Structure 1
Amino acid sequence: MGQRILTVNAGSSSVKFALYKSGEDPRMIARGLVQGIGSNSSFKFKHGGPDSTHSVKASNQTDALMVILERITPLLEGQEVAGVGHRIVHGGPLRATPTELTDDVMADLATFNPLAPLHQPHNLSAVEAAKRAFPYALQIGCFDTAFHRNHPWENDIYAIPRRFYKQGIKRYGFHGLSYDYVSHQIVRERPELRNKRLIIAHLGSGASICAVNNGHSISSTMGFSPLDGLPMSTRSGQLDPGILLYLMETEGMSAKELTHMLYHESGLLGLSGLSADMQVLEASDAPEAKDAIEYFVYRVRREIGAMAATLSGIDALIFCGGIGENSARIRAQIIDRLGYLGIELDGDANDCNARDIGKGPTPVMVIPTDEEQVIADAVARALIPRH
């Protein structure tokens, strides 16, 4: 088949993409992203050789997709884009598999915008733009919540009146595409870990940890929304709900103001008062930067311990995501006190971002995640009936 598959991963200020040759095993042709949407936009592109970056004009996700389309058109070589796969952060309580993004499905997904305001509206606007750009292509949504849809009941529910669970207030979990890729990749690389107990730490601007047993998600640090669990670049992570009640009563903060604070002013940015970027904090001598890093490390270490308890043990620890894949310092600090789990750091391997960075009885690995490949594979499967 000579057709092409395009994957789109739209966030609040960036749109990632990858272009593939269609087939049973899609092969990547090019990848990149438009970042800084709305101000100082730039386009990063990789096709064969080294990355190239240049400034572009992109005031919104539609503009970004037009920039991407212009750049990839010569790579289509006269072939059509048969399918476009989209990362959709929230799929709701029922969607556990990739789904065609019909008008009815899109309307339903829009109801989850308040649960993932940093992502869901931008995911859906990118879908609409892709429909206009490729009106005959199959549009497939791949959901970050899908990987977590078979949690044990006790890992899904909150201890509030049960009627709310029936209304959909439950622990959804996110970063599912990343966990899907990594849990399959580790089995390809280390077959002896098939059907074992894995703890995967997806650490980036968004951060979470997932307990995986026999290839299935058992528990995740993220819950009803992508706010829960670990502190992130600008998101708070776990909070005592009494704090929000207190701020509403004593500070008179509205739901809108609380939402803005929790999503945009908290996390590493709120703790440090300096930056939401871990690289900036690592380079800083400010005590506030050190404090933010130490809190982040403490919370990651704590949640790894909780996931080990959930799994009744651990057979491997895997790091992925921007921080997890690139920061030797953060990984070392996290591992420093995990000896009770059989985890010991190989400092030299860690410093060079090797694949295997442990030397204790419990393997510790760094596996670069590839959400785009998971999406492309899903689109390829959806295209089979069309052929």
Structure 2
Amino acid sequence: MNDRMRSVLTINGGSSSIKLALYQVGERLERRLYGRMDRIGLSGTNLTFNDSTGNGHRGHIQTVPENKSAAHFLIDWLEEQDAFASVEAVGHRVVHGMTHSEPERVTPELLDELRRISAYDPEHLPREIELMEMFRQRHPNLSQVACFDTAFHRDAPRMAKLLPIPRRFETKGVQRYGFHGLSYAYLMEELARLGDPAARTGRVILAHLGSGASMAAVRDGKSIDTSMGFTPTAGLVMSTRSGDLDPGLVSYLARTEQMSATQFHQMVNHESGLLGVSEISSDMRELLARETDDARAAEAIALFCYQAKKWIGSFAAVLGGLDTLVFAGGIGENCPSIRARICEGLGFLGIEMSESCNAKTADVISVDGSRATVRVIRTDEELMIARSTCRLLEPGAGKKSN
């Protein structure tokens, strides 16, 4: 690598989407390009991107049935962009990292390890592995870094990770891992940048509420518990994921509905949550628009808020109180009414919301003098991937906050 990297590309590959961002490296990381490929494997696959001037472009492409084809298309498209010529490293979000606690260079050995654990997260890992392999094949001179979503929770207390099942499964890696770690790491860095000592060293609950939703309890800057577990399906109600369920449902539905393990996996990951309860949509914005005239939409919203409130109470108990609550993610950042409903009745935890600040999504949405500070922070997983990649490959690059 040169004395100074010129730019870094970040790849955030999901089950049916790929997000990318390209950052120019200097004292600060400056985003030059952002893109998103959606509906991979479905009809109407499209790529939307914005360049550094803010100009938006949308191009419809042919249906891409497999992520391997999507990866080929994506790299073909990147090679046509002038900015790609300056890329010297690629940082990847890897959802499941098992015991890895820090970003690592992508090597054949690491890829082999990820293949061995791909059954842990069949929704994400196979696609992430394929993207890394494709970049190795097409651009072998590019350094690649894996940034693990589980790493933030790696040092959580044992009781937060242990599952109450026969101990022999623990030796096979079956435990609670937690996810959304890149988002949480970014939020904690933002709290540090804001200079709030209570936020950095006190009792913090981070609520990443998006299509995937989770919370993390943080004390003294370290994760001590989180709502997701062995997989990202556990915990809160999500857009299409169920969150926590009675495990007895597996055998019950197998007996009464002849539901296979594959069908159950499909149901709890893609047919449940807001979509399953509302029978309308997985999009909170659409449900809010339908709430007054459709009881199913109203119930889905109410269940989402009820479960979120329960998790806040649970984590406050684990933390021994609450100093700071942070809302992030698509719902947490953009839905004032959801934030208000979740926080309603939490005055016993010191939460006093400012109706006006919440309505305009101010940085702080609690009233002055509230014992617990409630913040809204726009998370940025891509920027966190870029920072992590630079810190591993070139310590000191991008060291100033963006």
- Identity of paired residues, percent? 42
Aligned-residue RMSD, C-alpha: 1.9
Alignment counterpart, residue 163 of structure 1, candidates 151, 154, 168:
168
CA distance in 1, matches of 2:377, 2:211: 17
May I ask how many residue pairs the two structures share in their alignment? 384
**Shift of residue 69 of structure 1?**
5.2
- Residue 304 of structure 2 is matched in structure 1 by 296
Single out whichever of 315-324 and 188-197 deviates more from structure 2: 188-197
Structure 1 position 16 matched with structure 2 position 22? no
Q: Output the CA distance in 1 between the equivalents of 2:29 and 2:143.
A: 16
Aligned to 1:7, what secondary structure does the other structure show? Answer: strand
Q: Does 1:127 align with 2:137?
A: no
- 1:122-158: CA deviation from partner (whole Å, max 9, x where unpaired): 2122212222332111111111111000011111101
Instruction: Report the equivalent of 1:308.
Output: 316
CA distance in 1, matches of 2:381, 2:76: 20
Whole-angstrom CA distance in 2 between matches of 1:302 and 1:323: 17
* Runs (5+) with no aligned partner, structure 2: 398-402
CA distance in 2, matches of 1:126, 1:101: 11
Q: Residues 5 and 254 of structure 1: is their aligned pair in 2 closer, same or farther, counting only changes over 3 Å?
A: same
Among residues 223, 247, 250, which one is paired with 1:244 in the alignment? 250
User: Residues 25-72 of structure 1: CA distance to partner in whole angstroms, max 9, x if unpaired?
Assistant: 433222121112232122222222243333233514344443465357
Deviation at 1:110, TM superposition (A): 2.1
Please report how far the alpha carbon of residue 220 of structure 1 lies from its aligned counterpart in structure 2 after TM superposition. 0.3
TM-score when scaled to structure 2? Answer: 0.91
Match of 1:362 among 372, 381, 385: 372
In the alignment, which of 198, 212, 218 is matched to residue 206 of structure 1?
212
In 1: Cα distance, 2:319 partner to 2:26 partner: 37
Q: d(CA) in 2 for partners of 1:5 and 1:176? A: 20
Separation of aligned partners in 2, 1:324 and 1:252: 38
| Bigger shift: residues 112-121 or 65-74 | 65-74
> Following the alignment from structure 1 to structure 2, what is the Cα–Cα distance between the partners of residues 199 and 178?
13
- Matching of residue 181 in structure 1 with residue 186 in structure 2: yes
Partners of 1:197 and 1:120 lie apart in 2 by: 32
**SS across alignment from 1:12:** coil
1:209-358 residue pairs with structure 2 within 5 A? Answer: 209-284=215-290, 285-358=293-366
Q: Secondary structure at the match of 2:141?
A: coil
| Matching residue's letter, 2:331 | I
Structure 1 equivalent of residue 47 of structure 2: 43
TM-score, reference length from structure 1: 0.94
Query: Which SS does the other structure have where 2:165 is aligned?
Result: coil
For 1:191 and 1:326, locate their aligned partners in 2 and report how far apart those are by CA, in whole Å: 23
d(CA) in 1 for partners of 2:97, 2:196 = 31
CA deviations on 1:57-105 (whole Å, 9 max, x unpaired) are: 35143444434653574442753x211000000011x111111121221
Instruction: From 72, 77, 83, give the equivalent of 1:70.
Output: 77
Unaligned runs of 5+ in 1: none
Map of 1:137 onto structure 2: 142
Q: Summarize the alignment of residues 38-117 of structure 1 with structure 2, pairs less than 5 Å apart.
A: 38=41, 39-47=43-51, 48-57=53-62, 59=64, 60-65=66-71, 66-67=73-74, 70-71=77-78, 73-76=80-83, 78-79=85-86, 81-92=87-98, 94-117=99-122
Equivalent AA in structure 2 for residue 41 of structure 1: T
One-letter identity of the residue aligned with 2:338: I
Q: Aligned partners of 2:6 and 2:295: how far apart in 1? A: 54
